[in-house]
Amino acid sequence: MKAPILAACVASAFAALGCGADLDANQSQVDITQFVLPALSTSDREEIVHRYDFVDPNDEVPRGLLEDAIIFFDVNQVSIPKSDYFVVIDLSRFSGEDRFWIIDLWTGTVEKHKTAHGSGSDPDHDGYAQLFSNVSGSLMSSLGFYLTGEIYDGTHIHSMKLDGLMPDGSPNQMANTNARDRAIVVHEASYVSETNIGIQGRSSGCPALDPTVEVSVVDKIYGGNLLYIAIAELDPPVGRAPVSSESTTDDPP
């Protein structure tokens, strides 16, 4: 059954605080102890993943990261407020490539975009993020699972807050619980362009988007959908369920 199944942010002294430097200091209402990072056998992962075989029919999303998101979503669904979409961001890719995917969990279809990474993650500005941090002032991107939060107007209008679910010590450098305090948000940025296949500008750690798409993206995913930023899969992908090999020789031409 189909389950109803994100140059710097601001070139100013505020940059060290994050992309939304004037973000209000309200505390997250997300209880991260309600979320489990699944550690499942291959057969258990297969059972979950194969229920979502309709997702990403054209194989646009890196398979291992897609399965990570599927499994985390499925295991933690009771704690995830919205189940219309989830987002996968692959920061191992060059910044001029599509690497921000919105997966529709009703239809399985995929929407792809460009996105920025933090200047501290790419100090050589070569288009590749290599360093990641959960520390304020690092200007680095943070990996891991998030819930999308509320929309607000800050340094960038129509920005979307993020709540990190991964504590320090999580595997694959996933630590992001300081995202709200760091003002790591999804926002528009003139240094990100959907048509640029070269090096995109850098943020202060935020997954910034082209201004021409940011409003529609944020309006679609805000308020409690799962978002996953990674550079490597947590487990080897199991793939789709095998297609039946029953003979069809007696079928009419």
pLDDT values of the chain reduced to their tens digit, one per residue, 253 residues: 444 433 333 333 334 456 655 445 467 789 999 999 999 999 999 999 999 999 999 999 999 999 999 999 999 999 999 999 999 999 999 999 999 999 999 999 999 999 999 999 999 999 999 999 999 999 999 999 999 999 999 989 999 999 999 999 999 999 999 999 999 999 999 999 999 999 999 999 999 999 999 999 999 999 999 999 999 999 999 999 998 755 444 443 3
**How much is the pLDDT for 245?**
59
Pick from 36, 109, 20: nearest CA to 79: 36
Residue 15 has a CB neighbour count (10 Å cut-off) of 19
**How much is the pLDDT for 119?**
98
Please tell me whether residue 172 adopts helix, strand or coil conformation: helix
Alpha carbon distances (Å) from 85 to 20, 243, 253:
24, 26, 40
**How much is the pLDDT for 120?**
98
- Going from the N-terminus, what domains does the chain have, and what CATH number goes with each? 13-22+32-230 (2.40.440.10)
**How much is the pLDDT for 8?**
33
Structure tokens at 83: 């189940």
Question: What beta strand segments (E) does 59-206 contain?
Answer: 85-90, 100-104, 110-113, 144-152, 159-164, 185-186
